[in-house]
Amino acid sequence: MRYLIDDQPEICIGCGHACFAERDCVQEPEARERSAAIEQADALALCGPVYCWQPNGLMAAMFDKVRLSTGPWRDAPQHGKPAVGLAIAGGTGSGVFCALQSMYAWFCLWKYRPLAPVPITRFNLDLALESAEALGREIASTAPRPYGGVGELLATYDALPALRYGHLEEFRWLALTIARSLERRGDSAERVAAIRATLDRAEQREHAGDRAGAGELFVAAYWAGVEAWSHS
């Protein structure tokens, strides 16, 4: 296990060195060691906070410096080691899927075999903690499966529903997550019913082709859920 707060990866300055071809960083010796440690791992789990709807700066700095001997997406061999991303969005919970999409774009670049992304907010933290052990067993028992080619690699990532989520889908997910969590906590059935009714109206707007109107209602359902959460 590595903590980037201890590693303190430096930002890439675009020095012009052919780092993708040479598989190293001439500016930061620690970056070469970090890349070697990642390459030696049988699987990869990334977990980080969401800042401004993206992975935080430490993770972004790490992304920019890692270079693996197997090469990026266009190069063989296609190693297919398992990887999972966990994004933790505090406060509003928004941006969690944007951050996961950045993580999984990086996984795809380096040809990892993805497990389903794990979005974590204060509204589903209890469930995330309950499923952590099962997630650990899954990644530990998942053997590398090399890709047959770049087509399979890209198609595998495109098939992950969470990677297709836009902002409206995220607020729909947040509102539903809050409603389900309130139900598990035995909160007011009236509050939960109001959230679900707003979501139903949003779905009707979307099916009618009014995407903007649906978005207003998805966000309204979300804020109603946040309000109910604060009083539960």
The residue that leads in pLDDT, 230 or 200, is 200
Average pLDDT on 128-146 reads 92
Closest alpha carbon to 86 in 41, 43, 117, 60: 117
In this structure, the number of other CB atoms found within 10 A of the CB of residue 129 comes to 10
In this structure, the number of other CB atoms found within 10 A of the CB of residue 203 comes to 14
Q: Is the pLDDT of residue 99 over 90?
A: yes
Residues 89 and 176 grouped into a single domain: no
Longest CA–CA span in the chain (Å) reads: 61
Q: Is the pLDDT of residue 231 over 90?
A: no
Residues 100 and 160 grouped into a single domain: yes
Partners of 51 in the β-ladder: 54
Query: Range with the lowest mean pLDDT among 21-30, 157-166, 190-199?
Result: 21-30
Q: What's the pLDDT at 78?
A: 81
Residues 127 and 224 grouped into a single domain: no
Q: What's the pLDDT at 41?
A: 94
Q: What is the CATH number of the domain that holds 17?
A: 3.40.50.360
Each residue of 70-79: pLDDT tens digit? Answer: 999 988 878 8
Q: Is the peptide bond before 77 cis (omega within 30 degrees of 0)?
A: yes
What pTM does this model have?
0.93
Q: What's the pLDDT at 1?
A: 84
Query: Range with the lowest mean pLDDT among 125-134, 171-180, 199-208?
Result: 125-134
Distance CA 65, CA 21 (A): 13
Residues 206 and 120 grouped into a single domain: no
Q: What's the pLDDT at 185?
A: 87
Each residue of 101-124: pLDDT tens digit? Answer: 999 999 999 999 999 999 999 999
Residues 181 and 116 grouped into a single domain: no
**Mean pLDDT in the chain?**
94
Residues 78 and 156 grouped into a single domain: yes
Residues 134 and 82 grouped into a single domain: yes
Structural domain of 177: 168-230
Please write down the long-range contacts of 30-39, taking CB distance under 8 Å and 24 or more positions apart.
31/65, 31/66, 32/67, 34/2, 34/7, 34/9, 34/62, 34/65, 34/66, 35/65, 35/66, 35/67, 35/68, 37/2, 38/66, 38/68, 39/68, 39/69, 39/70
Amino acid sitting at position 85? G
Band (179; pLDDT cuts 50, 70, 90)? very high
Average pLDDT on 143-151 reads 94
Last residue of a domain, one of 130, 147, 164: 164
Partners of 144 in the β-ladder: none
